[in-house]
Structure 1
Amino acid sequence: MSDYIKDVLKDAIEEELSLGGDAGTVIARIGEVLSEEGYRVVAL
C-alpha cells in the first residue's frame, strides 16, 4: 500500500473518530475512501 493511501486513510480515520465515530463508522469510512481512490471494495 502506498504512503499516499496510508496517509489518506489515517486522516479519514482520525476525522471519523473526532466526530464521535465507532468501529463500524470507521470501517465504512475506510471503504468509502478506498472506493473514491479507485480501489474495488467488496463488503461481506
Structure 2
Amino acid sequence: MSDYIKDVLKDAIEEELSLGGDAGTVMARIGEVLSEEGYRVVAL
C-alpha cells in the first residue's frame, strides 16, 4: 500500500473518530475512501 493511501486512510479514520464514529462507521469510511481511490472493495 502506498504512503499516499496510508495517509488518506489515516486522515479519514481520524476524522470519523473525531465525529464520534465507531468501528462500523470507520470501516464504512475506509471502504468509501478506497473505492474513491479506485480500489475494488468487497464487503464480507
Structure 1 length normalisation: TM-score?
0.99
- Structural RMSD (CA): 0.2
Which 5+ residue runs of structure 1 have no aligned equivalent? Answer: none
Q: Which runs of 5+ in 2 are unaligned?
A: none
Counting matched residue pairs gives 44
Query: After TM superposition, where is structure 1 displaced by more than 3 Å over at least 4 residues in a row?
Result: none
Q: Deviations over 1:20-39 (max 9, x none)?
A: 00000000000000000000
Identity %: 98
The two structures have a TM-score, normalised by structure 2, of 0.99
